Structure formats: structure tokens, C-alpha cells
């Protein structure tokens, strides 16, 4: 959603790199580019004005003028100001002290309230709560049935005494749901109300009546992040007509420009609490302003990735794999590799996972073209192997590879590629597990016994490795050693004797020469009486 904005900001910051000091013209040009980027992203004009003014004021201050790297300091300022307009701190759901917590959803028709109600219920269920879904959308055809289907998907009961389709009293259903929750010991009630087409006074009054009837602890306004500037008009109308405590953004995975997400907090003063970014029931999470700002600036969202990994990964399996890679629990096999891949699949789309990594915007085109079925193909190849072959891939010869290829529906070259990549990956992971660093990467410790790998080292990494190997083949002084052992020993003894005779001193004279140190010091124009330190 924020791809265009991220690209424009990245180009803007690229022009600042390498400058030791920023002039007024540099600051004005940067502010102008940021303003254009935000307006193109459909951010509300008042928000753009306040944002750019804050960035310019701070960029002219001491924190940039005295910084060692002004460009990085400007990026830091933009990041902090983005966090501010997105809400600053993460807003958590408030729970009632006594009785069930009532959460009411309101918003336009088509914003995704019914689907979001089930996503929220699943999220609460994972938090250890016992939610109850309530079907109070009795206007839209099949809205009740949709909520019941979604409730079945996430394993959450649905209170739906009325069939809906334009018939029934939503206020009465809402009142009855609270009593039902108390009777069946549900601690959270999620009320799905009817949407409306635009600002419909009748439906707005119905939402206000439901609010007055159940006195919700949280009223959440559900807004489609793809509708642009109109989201702000609708948000303000709901704030005046019904009132709400927080905002939920849906369809964040869309291709719209995303200005609503950056504007709604600043315009309404209400925090964004949750974000929905896909069709799966698990594509839902708490909205973190700092993490969203990092994504916009292409700095990744590693914290969310870690949290998802902690939920999806089996700690016991991960520990066993780590022990094998460190050489303590046997050899890492293709069975272990398959288990790790299956756990990665639990995280969801590989494209979404990779987009959370810093710098993902630079390879956006490759990520968009990434084939999600590649993991399934690898799994098919591994499952076509016998247990002995998975345990020891070294025994996979030509005939075995042909059989595996036929069984998995792949080619022999695919099988060859998988086996070769497995051996390379296992070797690298084992050395990383032992040494704690990536070989040849700038700023990271090299691995014991790990050669410099092509494409992973700094500039000239491959040349250094070749030079080192060539140096090993030579004797001292760069002379090549003789292949004759007797002659090589004779050469080594002669070199040792010569080195002993030519013991170095500060002036490069041989040890047995009679040296006038005072005269030599005078010739070097050293400080007075310095010669005594040379004896």
C-alpha cells in the first residue's frame, strides 16, 4: 500500500547522502519532495502541512547541523514525525473490570466489519479470552449467515436469534447478547452492527441506539484504508453521530495509496488500534505506529516478524535443529530441513515475511514475482525420497535422482539443485551456529574455517581468498618452495640463518655493523637527546 510513498522518500533521502552539512537549500528541497510524496499518497492537506513544518523546523536545529551524518539524522526526524502522526504509542484494548467487555463495531457498508469481527474474535481467543460474536446487522442480505460461517471458521460461538435480511430488532438482539454472555460465561462480546451507504441518518441513529443500549467499553470505527480522502469525511461524521474510541484499518494489503492510514489519527484525534491486511482470519494484529513508520521508510518490521515466529514455531523442534547444527545432536538431515520449512509455512505468505525485512523495497519487483509454490515443490521432492536418502543425501546417485524426480513430478536438474543447495546451506548454517557470524560480511565476525563465499564478502573478497591461497603455496619472502624435501629443508635453513644475520634495528643496519647512532639521529632530524632512546 505504501510502495509509492516509500519509493519517493527513499529517492529523497538518497540525494542527501554523502553531504557533510545541509544548507538551507538542501532542507527546502527535501521538505518539498516530502510534501509531494505525501500529497501523492493521498494524505490530507492539513496533515501534510503540519508534518512538513515539523520536519523543516527540526532539520534547521542543532540535532542536524551538529550531526556527524546529517542525512541519517533527517531520516530519524522523518521517522519520529511519522510515528507521531500515526498515534505515537500503541493503544491497547480496554477490558471491563466486571462483567463481559462489550466491543461494538461501526462503519460503512463494505468496509469489512463482519470479517473483521471474526478476526478480532480469533485474536482475543489467542489472548486467552472467551469471546461471543453478536449478529446485529439485520439489514444486509445474508449478513447473519456470513457471521455464522466466519464464527465456525475461528471456533467462536455466534449469538444470532434473528434471521436478518431486513427483519428484526438489532437493539433488542444487542441487549439480549450481554445477558447471553453472562449466562454462558463469555468475557468479551463483539457486536457487529449494520453498515450504511454514505452518511445515512437512519442507520446512524440505529448505531447510536445500540451504543446506548449495551454501553460498550470500546466502540471501534472500521474503515477501508483504500477509500482515500473520503475516509476522513466518514470518520468525522461517525465521530459526531455515534462517537468511537479507536479506529480499525482494513485492506492494508491493497494497492491504494494509503493516505487514510496517515491522516485519520491526526484529523479525528482517535488512535488506530488494529490493522487487517489480508483475507485469512489470521491476517490481523495490533497497530504499532513505530513499526508502520519503519515499513514506510523501508526499514522493515523485524519485531512483528519475531512475534509471528514465536507463535508459529515449535520451540522444541527449533532447539533440536539448533543442537544438530552446532554438532551436539547428530547430523542435520533433510527430515529436519523439511520440518523447518513446514514451520516457516505457518508464518503465512513468504512474500509478506520477506517484506518485513529491512531493505525489502529495493527488491520489491522480485518479491512480487516470487512463486509461493516453490516450497511445495521442494517438499514434494523431499517426500519422494526414502528415509535412508533423507537421512544421508550423499547416497543419492544418478538412478536414485531419476526415481525421485519421477515420483515428485519434477526434473532431475531440480533434484540436483535441491541436494546441492541443501549441502551448501547446511555447511553455512553449521558454521554460523559455531561461530556466531556471517562469513565475509562487513561488520560481522567471520566463521572459523569458513572460506570467503562469492557474493557475500566485501569488495575484493574473492581476490583476497585467492591471494591467501597463493601465499600458502609460497615460502617466506614470496619465493615458491621446492618440491624436493631435502632441497626445501636446505632453503629453509639458509633463510633462517640470513634472517638471524640481518636482525633489524631502527635504521635498517645489520646487527654486526658498527653504527654511530648519534650521527644517524642527526641525519633524521630527530628531537634533541632522542638518540638515547635508540640504543
Query: Is residue 471 part of an annotated ligand binding site?
Result: no
Ligand-binding site membership of 84 (annotated): no
**Sign of the C-alpha dihedral, residues 366, 78, 246, 182?**
positive
CA separation for the pair 24, 41 (Å, rounded): 26
Given this model, what pLDDT does residue 4 score? 72
For residue 110, say whether it is annotated as part of any ligand binding site.
yes
Helix or strand holding residue 220 (H, E): strand 218-224
Run of H or E residues at 25: helix 24-40
Note the pLDDT of residue 188. 92
- 4 labeled part of a ligand binding site: no
Confidence (pLDDT) at 307: 66
pLDDT digit of tens for each residue in the chain (535 aa)? 567 777 778 777 777 776 777 778 888 888 888 888 888 877 888 888 888 888 888 888 766 666 667 777 788 888 888 888 888 888 888 888 887 999 999 888 778 888 899 999 999 998 889 999 999 888 888 888 999 999 999 999 999 888 877 788 889 999 999 999 999 999 999 999 887 665 567 778 888 888 888 889 999 988 887 776 677 777 888 888 788 888 888 887 766 566 777 788 877 888 888 888 877 888 888 888 888 787 777 666 566 667 666 666 666 766 766 666 666 656 778 888 888 777 777 776 777 776 666 666 666 666 667 777 888 888 899 999 998 998 888 888 889 999 999 998 989 999 998 888 888 878 877 776 665 544 433 333 333 333 333 333 333 333 344 444 444 444 444 445 555 566 666 777 777 666 555 444 444 444 444 555 556 555 555 555 555 555 5
Annotated binding residue at 234?
A: no
Q: Where are the alpha helices (DSSP H) in 113-269?
A: 113-126, 143-154, 170-183, 201-214, 230-241, 259-268
Q: Confirm or deny that 252 is annotated as ligand binding.
A: yes
* 155 annotated among ligand-binding-site residues: no
Dihedral sign for Cα 394, 395, 397, 401, please. Answer: negative
Total residues belonging to the chain: 535
Contact 12, 31 (CB under 8 A): no
Taking the CA atoms of residue 176, residue 181, residue 184 and residue 188 in that order, the dihedral angle to the nearest 10 degrees is 160
Interacting residues of 289 by C-beta distance below 8 A, sequence separation 6+: 82, 83, 86, 87, 88, 89, 90, 272
Whether residue 193 is annotated as binding a ligand: the answer is yes
Computed on alpha carbons and rounded to an integer, the radius of gyration of the chain in Å comes to 34
**Model confidence, pTM:** 0.62
As beta bridge partners, residue 284 has 276
Q: Which domains does the chain have, with CATH numbers?
A: 3-85 (1.20.120.140), 101-287 (3.40.50.300), 323-435 (1.10.260.30), 485-534 (no CATH)
Amino acid at each position: 500500500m505504501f510502495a509509492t510513498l516509500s519509493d519517493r522518500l527513499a529517492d529523497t533521502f538518497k540525494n542527501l547522502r554523502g553531504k557533510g552539512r545541509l544548507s538551507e537549500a538542501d532542507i527546502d528541497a527535501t521538505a518539498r519532495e516530502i510534501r509531494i510524496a505525501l500529497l501523492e499518497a493521498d494524505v490530507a492537506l492539513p496533515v501534510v502541512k503540519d508534518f512538513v513544518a515539523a520536519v523543516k523546523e527540526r532539520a534547521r536545529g542543532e540535532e542536524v547541523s551538529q550531526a556527524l551524518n546529517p542525512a541519517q539524522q533527517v531520516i530519524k526526524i522523518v521517522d519520529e514525525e511519522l510515528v507521531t502522526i500515526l498515534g505515537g504509542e500503541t493503544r491497547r484494548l480496554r477490558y471491563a473490570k466486571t462483567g463481559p467487555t462489550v466491543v461494538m463495531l461501526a462503519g460503512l457498508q463494505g468496509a469489512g466489519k463482519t470479517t473483521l469481527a471474526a478476526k478480532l474474535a480469533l485474536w482475543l481467543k489467542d489472548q486467552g479470552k472467551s469471546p461471543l460474536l453478536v449478529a446485529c446487522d439485520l439489514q444486509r442480505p445474508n449478513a447473519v449467515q456470513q457471521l455464522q460461517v466466519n464464527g465456525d471458521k475461528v471456533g467462536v460461538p455466534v449469538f444470532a436469534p434473528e434471521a436478518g435480511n431486513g427483519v428484526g430488532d438489532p437493539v433488542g438482539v444487542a441487549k439480549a447478547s450481554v445477558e447471553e454472555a453472562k449466562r454462558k460465561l463469555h468475557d468479551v462480546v463483539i457486536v457487529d452492527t449494520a453498515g450504511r451507504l454514505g452518511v445515512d441518518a437512519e442507520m446512524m441513529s440505529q448505531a447510536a441506539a445500540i451504543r446506548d443500549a449495551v454501553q460498550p467499553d470500546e466502540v471501534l470505527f472500521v474503515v477501508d484504508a483504500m477509500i482515500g480522502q473520503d475516509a476522513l469525511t466518514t470518520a468525522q461524521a461517525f465521530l459526531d453521530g455515534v462517537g468511537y474510541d479507536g479506529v480499525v484499518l482494513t485492506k492494508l494489503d491493497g494497492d491504494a495509496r494509503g493516505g487514510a492510514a496517515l491522516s485519520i489519527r491526526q484529523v479525528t484525534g482517535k488512535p488506530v488500534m488494529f490493522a487487517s491486511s489480508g483475507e485469512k482470519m489470521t491476517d490481523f494484529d495490533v497497530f504499532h505506529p513505530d513499526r508502520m513508520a519503519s515499513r514506510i521508510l523501508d526499514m522493515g518490521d523485524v519485531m512483528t516478524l519475531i512475534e509471528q515466529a514465536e507463535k508459529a514455531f515449535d520451540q522444541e523442534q527449533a532447539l533440536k535443529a539448533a543442537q544438530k547444527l552446532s554438532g551436539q545432536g547428530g547430523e542435520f538431515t533433510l527430515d529436519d530441513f523439511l520440518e523447518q520449512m513446514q514451520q516457516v509455512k505457518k508464518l503465512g505468505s513468504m512474500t509478506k515475511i520477506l517484506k518485513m525485512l529491512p531493505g525489502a523495497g529495493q527488491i520489491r519487483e522480485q518479491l512480487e514475482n516470487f512463486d509461493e509454490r516453490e516450497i511445495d515443490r521442494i517438499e514434494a521432492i523431499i517426500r519422494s525420497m526414502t528415509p535412508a536418502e533423507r537421512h544421508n543425501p550423499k547416497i543419492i546417485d544418478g538412478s536414485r535422482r531419476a526415481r525421485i524426480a519421477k515420483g515428485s513430478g519434477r526434473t532431475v536438474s531440480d533434484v540436483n539443485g535441491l541436494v546441492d543447495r541443501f549441502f551448501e546451506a547446511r555447511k553455512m548454517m553449521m558454521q554460523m551456529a559455531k561461530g556466531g557470524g556471517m562469513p565475509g560480511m562487513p561488520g560481522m565476525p567471520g566463521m572459523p574455517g569458513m572460506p570467503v563465499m562469492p557474493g557475500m564478502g566485501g569488495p575484493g573478497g574473492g581476490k583476497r581468498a585467492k591471494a591467501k591461497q597463493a601465499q600458502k603455496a609460497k615460502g617466506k619472502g614470496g619465493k615458491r618452495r621446492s618440491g624436493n624435501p631435502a632441497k626445501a629443508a636446505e632453503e629453509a635453513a639458509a633463510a633462517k640463518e640470513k634472517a638471524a644475520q640481518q636482525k633489524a634495528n631502527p635504521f635498517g643496519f645489520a646487527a654486526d655493523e658498527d653504527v654511530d647512532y648519534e650521527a644517524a639521529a642527526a641525519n633524521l632530524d630527530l628531537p634533541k637527546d632522542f638518540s638515547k632512546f635508540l640504543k
